[in-house]
Amino acid sequence: MIHGQRTPPETDILHTDSRCRPLLRLRQLATEIAAASERNDLNIVERATALLPDAVEQCRGIDPDLARQNVEVMRFISETHKMLSDCDATLQNTKADIATELRRVRMTQKNREWVQQNQRAVVGRRLDTSK
């Protein structure tokens, strides 16, 4: 179970009606993206998100009456949408955090370079230690 989502029994409409296959595929992608995001596996996140447009397009082909007439399908769609929205928010926050960290690293590098360029040899006096 990922994100506290229940695993539907194999006898429900989502698994018995072939028209629901695109919804199951979309949920599978959402689950993979969420799990990979939690593991910080950006390779899997990238690969799974690349498959989203096709999966969403297939879902658009589903008869709207299927969802309107079946509460379970509507709930499944709603849960999947929430999962994808949560993933999007997490990825946006991560992107902002990375951008902030990159700015900090660049500023540190810039400051280090400035200090190295402006470092002058310290000219000191020779101390007479014979006294």
Q: What is the pLDDT of residue 1?
A: 47
Asked if residue 70 is part of any domain, the answer here is yes
Asked if residue 80 is part of any domain, the answer here is yes
Regarding pTM above 0.75, the answer is no
Asked if residue 131 is part of any domain, the answer here is no
Asked if residue 1 is part of any domain, the answer here is no
Give me the mean pLDDT over the 104-123 stretch: 83
Q: What is the pLDDT of residue 103?
A: 95
For residue 77, the enclosing domain spans: 13-116
Asked if residue 2 is part of any domain, the answer here is no
Asked if residue 89 is part of any domain, the answer here is yes
Q: Using CA atoms, how far apart are residues 58 and 42, in angstroms rounded to an integer? A: 25
DSSP-derived letter for residue 49 is H
Provide the domain count of the chain.
1
Q: What is the pLDDT of residue 121?
A: 58
User: Is residue 80 scored above 90 in pLDDT?
Assistant: yes
Asked if residue 124 is part of any domain, the answer here is no
Q: What tens digit of pLDDT does each residue of 25-77 get?
A: 999 999 999 999 999 899 999 999 999 999 999 999 888 888 888 889 999 99
Asked if residue 59 is part of any domain, the answer here is yes
Centre a 10 Å sphere on the Cβ of residue 24 and count the other Cβ atoms it contains.
Answer: 15
